[in-house]
Amino acid sequence: MKRSTLHIFSPGRTKGWWGLAFLLMSLTSTAQRHGGHHDNGPAIKVKVSLDKQKIIIGQPVHMLVEAFVPGNAPLVWPPMDSIPHFEWVEKGKLDSVNKTDEQYYRQYFTITSFDSGVWVIPQLSFYSGNRKYLSDTVMLRVDYSRFDPNQDYHDIKDIIDVPNPYAKWIPWVVGALTLIALALVVWLVRKKKLLKQTVVAPLVILSPYEEAVRQLEELHKQGPGVDGQIKIYYTRLNDILRLFVLRRLSIASMAETNEELIGALQKLSLTRPQFDALAETLRMTDFVKFAKYQPGAEDNERSYQVIRGSVDLLDEIAEPEQADQPGQENETTSKSGA
């Protein structure tokens, strides 16, 4: 008997690598149908498909992985780490649809390849319990872009200058900015001349006594106002006296409490009635500011007159002390209306 020989790969009988790849896919699919899992169980179907069978190098291709699981059988999805000769472009999320008698799983991928040739996406392993299910292999051809060798060679083109649509407005913008700059220079020059012509009034520096008297008279004209403003009135009255004592007698009155100020004023040459009246007024100021005391109209007028008279007395006390100091001029003050 003559022995027959099967030529699996022969350029005359098949179409090169395509025939060999198709034969391998057929054998793998047959092995999966007959030996995909080790024991009988629910028929789980898995499938891998591509939207293209041939691409150019670097061209993306979409891959869909599906699984049909009967009932509520568990399914372990294969890890999508890497595929030889392919690169991941995008990995979609795993979706699932629960039906009455079946569960449907799917996941979309975008892949590409930079290696020319015919490549096979290998079988993917799915597990359900102790059973293993394999998907079919999928073949993809990766080619270079076609070109006609008979065409003339085209060299790289030079850089082409793109006209600027706003170029016509540049002279107008420059002209407008120039006019604005000239107008600004003219304005600054005129302003400088006007400032030179302006007569600056001499600054009048008031003495401590004059400043205190003026502020007290302005406060007296305003008056204490309504009950809500009585605290402001007494606070202002106290501050005027404190500032005068600081400037005229060099006593750190602004950093002291009223009780400390009373102790400092006690050392001055005030008569007992004068000192007692001033101390009582300072204590009433604290009552109004901190204890919410509401004095009457007579108390308000009396407090003002005590502070006003104390300014006169303290100014007279300070004059002999400054006159005794050598090389220091006596300060002439006006006390009209005191």
pLDDT, tens digit (0-9, with 9 covering 90-100), for 7-36: 333 344 434 555 555 555 555 554 444 344
Using CA atoms, how far apart are residues 262 and 239, in angstroms rounded to an integer?
14
321: pLDDT confidence band, cut at 50, 70 and 90? low
- pLDDT tens-digit readout, 271-307: 899 889 989 999 989 888 888 888 888 888 999 999 9
**57 within 8 A of 114, measured Cβ to Cβ:** yes
pLDDT of residue 126: 92
User: 4 vs 220, which has greater pLDDT?
Assistant: 220
Using CA atoms, how far apart are residues 204 and 293, in angstroms rounded to an integer?
39
pLDDT of residue 22: 52
Per-residue tokens: 115 = 């290696």
Helix axes 208-222, 297-323, angle to 10 degrees: 170
pLDDT of residue 148: 66
Report pTM: 0.39
Using CA atoms, how far apart are residues 93 and 336, in angstroms rounded to an integer?
96
Q: Tell me which DSSP letter residue 317 carries.
A: H
How far is C-alpha 88 from the geometric centre of its chain's CA atoms? 36
Using CA atoms, how far apart are residues 94 and 108, in angstroms rounded to an integer?
8
Kindly list the structural domains of the chain, giving each domain's residue range(s) and its CATH number in brackets, ordered by start. 17-143 (2.60.40.10), 208-323 (no CATH)
Which runs of consecutive H residues, i.e. helices, occur in the chain?
17-35, 170-197, 208-222, 230-249, 258-265, 272-290, 297-323
**131 within 8 A of 39, measured Cβ to Cβ:** yes
Mean residue pLDDT of the chain comes to 79
Concatenate the DSSP letters of all residues of 228-267 into one string.
Answer: GGHHHHHHHHHHHHHHHHHHHH---GGGS-HHHHHHHHTT
The average pLDDT across 255-276 equals 87
3-state helix, strand, coil in the chain (%, to 5): 45, 15, 40
135 pLDDT exceeds 70?
A: yes
- pLDDT tens-digit readout, 53-99: 999 999 999 999 999 999 888 889 998 888 999 999 999 999 988 88
5 pLDDT exceeds 60?
A: no
154: pLDDT confidence band, cut at 50, 70 and 90? low
105 pLDDT exceeds 70?
A: yes
Using CA atoms, how far apart are residues 283 and 234, in angstroms rounded to an integer?
11
